[in-house]
Amino acid sequence: MFGALLAIGLIVFAAYELMQSGIVKLQPSDVAAVAQTAGFSGSDLEIAIAIAFAESSGNPYAIGDLELGISVGLWQVNLKAHPEFQGVNLMDPQTNANAAYSIYVAAGMSFAPWSTFKNGAYRANLQLASSAVNA
């Protein structure tokens, strides 16, 4: 338990330090590139991009869900739900996209694991996602 808390603390500290250094959010085209490289395609590529922006606003250093098991990165990969990603650099956009694709595949090629998909919040970013894919 202590080790997990220490790891969470280090992740939060690293994210805070990166944010303070002025790291900017990724452009939709950058998120599209890592999502496509991870394996998302077709209309699911657009949904994946929209989810990333709903989850993190394109911030690869986003940390959330501190009370629900800490979620990290663009697709807010939750470490409690997906302990296989403990110790993985989920703040790296491509690594996070690869993890998200792995979660998507494990869910039967479904976005059901993401709350922003289940509640429909991702839909607000579909036009942005479509523009990124068609750019």
pTM: 0.84
Look at residue 9 and tell me whether its pLDDT is greater than 60.
no
DSSP 64-92: E-TTTT-EETTTTEETTT-GGGTTS-TTS
Q: Averaged over 14-22, what is the pLDDT?
A: 50
Domains and CATH numbers, the chain: 2-133 (1.10.530)
Per-residue model confidence as pLDDT tens digits over 75-128: 999 999 999 999 999 999 999 999 999 999 999 999 999 999 999 999 999 999
The pLDDT value given to residue 66? 83
Other Cβ atoms closer than 10 A to 37? 13
